[in-house]
Structure 1
């Protein structure tokens, strides 16, 4: 195709990136973006912060506009134009001008579908009542802001504890609104393992959020004060001046389905590594497509901006003759929650169990920088790895400053196929206000590598059976008295060498301290003295998170 006509349906992350990349590769191509909305290339990840007035100027959400696309890239953008049908045999689109109602046929050499995903609105009783919103577009954010202002909203219910739900909850609180968050699962942030969210639940409640977990919404009615009542499975009724639905999204697959393109089991458009659909003249990118998980090789839906942008670039490159392939998704993501940061990459333990992949895990709770420098804050880290070779499978972290930095390093390590032994040797930035000579990433690798070598084998709290092992707490007596695991023997590390005779030798010794470091020291000492000793990874802090103690 010397002068290809490239038509793109949808002009946000994936579609806009595809268009710009295509122009950089070909001055000859004719490139047209169709979008049924009023805006092109806007930052939908910033919408909750616009609702919360953290971002005060709506124009800041506009990454680009139609004029910029035309002037800088010679790309035509047709807003408020809805593509209603694809004729694959004729290679044409039917496009409706939403302002005039006019229908027009548009031929293409290459077609890129980037329709995104739509918020889920389940058919619950009363869900169409005024004051119930979902957030996906700039007009959505305008309607929510207007409702808050005109109805002087004091109480809100957010349904769903994922990324958008938590960001909306924070931003509503920022505007002085009392928020109840309802989540059907026993935890917020479903991509994470449940024990990693225990401190997040505490933090949310400390911020004044009413957190209702393990409780789904049944419907919406009107209360005696003419406000909304949110009814849940448990029988509770939560009054609200407005409701935000943040239950999730589903891929916009109508065009693809009606055109007979292959869809995956999850309803997304099925593509190959070149982002090509089952039709060789049609590509698809972004939230509407199913892609393969980099770790598990499962087909999945990952509605994230980073992968969408990369997919758009790859589609443009393959359309214009380059050999480019998408590597898959790791689900690398981060969320800020009232000053706390949660981040993850790769597979969770829940996922690894479900797909039957063998794994091991370590927990650690290091400071985000050197402890002697003022202001050090702990980061709770969970690292998952393969026992056969130490290959890194996933990571999760919860903390404050520096949390996402560590997950970014681990995300690159996963993509490069690195192991925990590589993490031991990773050379990372160090100054006392930024990290430590042994960075938390190094420490995670060292703990896992020591376990794989057999130097300090680790065990897990969920496997503890006091009928089979002897549990030893090596914290100081004052720590033990403030709280300990029932059935534990207290032998402080500072007295361990003198009191080895007090330790029973009839069963394996499972050792724990507060976060795992002293337990490691004790395990090494005991194993070299003939004891069958194991360190409980993450220590008492992980025990409390795992059990909710």
Structure 2
């Protein structure tokens, strides 16, 4: 017998589920209800439509009602909201917002894909004209219209995460002076602070003002009509527009009112099959609470990729297949002007918050492709791994080119429970314009493996100095004269063998160069001569990120 499947919400999760269902079951009756005007659109492209990079609104449309009907024989009802679920009768109450008519629809299986809504804090002035959140095409249309009609020159973006930074970039492209107000002391909250500092530096270079470590208190208005953002520190920032990019909250009203179990993080609890606590109801996308693949902790990860995969898995299970969702690892990327900013897996601060002590980190600063080939640019990578078994736990990268490719390689290693030794041996594409014989992903594995095997004892710039600490700079005298860590002594690598008797005797000898490679060679040399040196991971480049080490 054919079954009737109702899907609440489209976009990534719901639309993917519907299309997969049809491919798996030609006889099923499939119906999508979406309270918005667009059932499937590229919400990740909304900031770029506002900035004019994407010129036409229709470019954001992935599929409409006609395509779903003609290609998949799926009925789509937009501007139709599901009001309630009757689990006992297996029905939902829906209202057509165009005529306010309420009707009841029955189901054999129900899929919830309601998404997440932008968080709007309960502060004074949050509903003033000119204060916007960004979630839908109509939101982007209103923001763009406001900017054009009022010829806005200044903006305040509340929140320094992915959406906040993309909005800051696109507003800057429009000639708007942007201030980012962020409660934390860094932009890009998923990143560790030393990696996020590279992003902050780029934003500042492009004229974006940063108000970090300062949360939103209220929003007011001047006599001339300008908006004023008041912060917790007592400062205020005038603006012609305010964009709220503080984060999102899972849409769980329907599920909660129906008595479905919610998780500890507030999302709809599902099993590996994407089934809720009701065997006939499934949930996918931003509203669900899943398991972090690395930490094993409950997680809310509002990303399109996981949502689409979850929709596919729910569809397979509805059709009788045993498909399972492995979990999330937060693989994400953001363009910040000419930077690629990407991450996957656990961050150092997450592991520390969870009390995990079995991890180590390394930094490296390779070129995106062979240095002798024109156009090579540098990148900064951080790899986090477990020394006891070599398992890769997380990575972060910032650079002009090639970051996405390396983070993708590491993301796949994490998903397959891979190790630094796997990265060390990975066979990756090589031609001088694309990479090197030793790809940055290989280098990350090799460096981490050297640490795990004990071949390269390391230390970090964040490790406090002791009375015995000696900083040994093994760069050239010219490099040293141009700038070095305060208190460092210079013993160039090329003459180090002839200077061993003059190297300061210390149980805490920390060696560094520009990026760590010469430091590694020097550390190997010194230790084989009985001098207990440790290499400062990432060299002076990382030192400047971590401590802001400046020129002497």
Residue 17 of structure 1 deviates from its aligned partner by 0.3
Q: Aligned partners of 2:507, 2:194: CA distance in 1, in Å?
A: 28
Please, which moves more after superposition, 526-535 or 272-281? 526-535
Q: TM (normalized to structure 2)?
A: 0.98
In structure 2, the partner of 1:196 is: 195
- 1:238-253 equivalences under 5 Å are 238-253=237-252
- 1:417-436 equivalences under 5 Å are 417-436=417-436
In structure 2, the partner of 1:490 is: 490
In structure 1, the partner of 2:410 is: 410
Give the match's secondary structure for 1:17: helix
Please, which moves more after superposition, 472-481 or 48-57? 472-481
Please, which moves more after superposition, 457-466 or 354-363? 457-466
In structure 2, the partner of 1:473 is: 473
Please, which moves more after superposition, 127-136 or 234-243? 234-243
Root mean square deviation, CA, Å: 1.0
- 1:266-305 equivalences under 5 Å are 266-305=265-304
Residue 471 of structure 1 deviates from its aligned partner by 2.1
Report if the CA contact (8 A) 1:424-1:443 is conserved.
Answer: yes
Give the match's secondary structure for 1:398: strand
Q: Aligned partners of 2:505, 2:180: CA distance in 1, in Å?
A: 50
- 1:360-399 equivalences under 5 Å are 360-399=360-399
Residue 490 of structure 1 deviates from its aligned partner by 1.3
Is residue 542 of structure 1 aligned with residue 542 of structure 2? Answer: yes
Q: TM (normalized to structure 1)?
A: 0.99
Q: Aligned partners of 2:65, 2:508: CA distance in 1, in Å?
A: 69
Report if the CA contact (8 A) 1:9-1:34 is conserved.
Answer: yes
Offset from partner CA, 1:319-355 (integer Å, 9 cap, x none) = 1100000000010000000111100000000111111
Q: Aligned partners of 1:234, 1:53: CA distance in 2, in Å?
A: 34
Offset from partner CA, 1:144-175 (integer Å, 9 cap, x none) = 11111111111111111111101011111111
Q: Aligned partners of 2:68, 2:467: CA distance in 1, in Å?
A: 70
In structure 2, the partner of 1:127 is: 126
Q: Aligned partners of 1:232, 1:60: CA distance in 2, in Å?
A: 37
Over 3 Å counting, the alpha-carbon distance change for 1:508 and 1:126 in structure 2 is closer
Q: Aligned partners of 2:194, 2:449: CA distance in 1, in Å?
A: 23
Residue 462 of structure 1 deviates from its aligned partner by 1.6
Q: Aligned partners of 1:477, 1:506: CA distance in 2, in Å?
A: 22
Residue 477 of structure 1 deviates from its aligned partner by 1.7
Q: Aligned partners of 1:366, 1:185: CA distance in 2, in Å?
A: 29
Give the match's secondary structure for 2:63: coil
In structure 2, the partner of 1:460 is: 460
Give the match's secondary structure for 1:317: helix
Q: Aligned partners of 1:400, 1:94: CA distance in 2, in Å?
A: 50
Report if the CA contact (8 A) 1:220-1:230 is conserved.
Answer: yes
Q: Aligned partners of 1:293, 1:548: CA distance in 2, in Å?
A: 33
Q: Aligned partners of 1:455, 1:36: CA distance in 2, in Å?
A: 59
Offset from partner CA, 1:29-79 (integer Å, 9 cap, x none) = 000000111111111000001111111111111100000000000000011
In structure 2, the partner of 1:143 is: 142
Report if the CA contact (8 A) 1:275-1:285 is conserved.
Answer: yes
Is residue 526 of structure 1 aligned with residue 537 of structure 2? Answer: no
In structure 2, the partner of 1:210 is: 209
Q: Aligned partners of 2:377, 2:466: CA distance in 1, in Å?
A: 34
In structure 2, the partner of 1:444 is: 444
Q: Which runs of 5+ in 2 are unaligned?
A: none
In structure 2, the partner of 1:112 is: 111
Residue 478 of structure 1 deviates from its aligned partner by 2.0
Is residue 60 of structure 1 aligned with residue 59 of structure 2? Answer: yes
In structure 2, the partner of 1:332 is: 331
Report if the CA contact (8 A) 1:198-1:548 is conserved.
Answer: no
In structure 1, the partner of 2:346 is: 347
Q: Aligned partners of 2:59, 2:508: CA distance in 1, in Å?
A: 61
Q: Aligned partners of 1:265, 1:371: CA distance in 2, in Å?
A: 49
Number of aligned residues: 548
Report if the CA contact (8 A) 2:364-2:444 is conserved.
Answer: yes
- 1:492-511 equivalences under 5 Å are 492-511=492-511
Give the match's secondary structure for 1:498: helix
Report if the CA contact (8 A) 1:508-1:531 is conserved.
Answer: no
Report if the CA contact (8 A) 2:461-2:547 is conserved.
Answer: no
Q: Aligned partners of 2:331, 2:428: CA distance in 1, in Å?
A: 20
Give the match's secondary structure for 1:499: helix
Give the match's secondary structure for 2:341: strand
Q: Aligned partners of 1:19, 1:506: CA distance in 2, in Å?
A: 66
Report if the CA contact (8 A) 2:230-2:236 is conserved.
Answer: yes
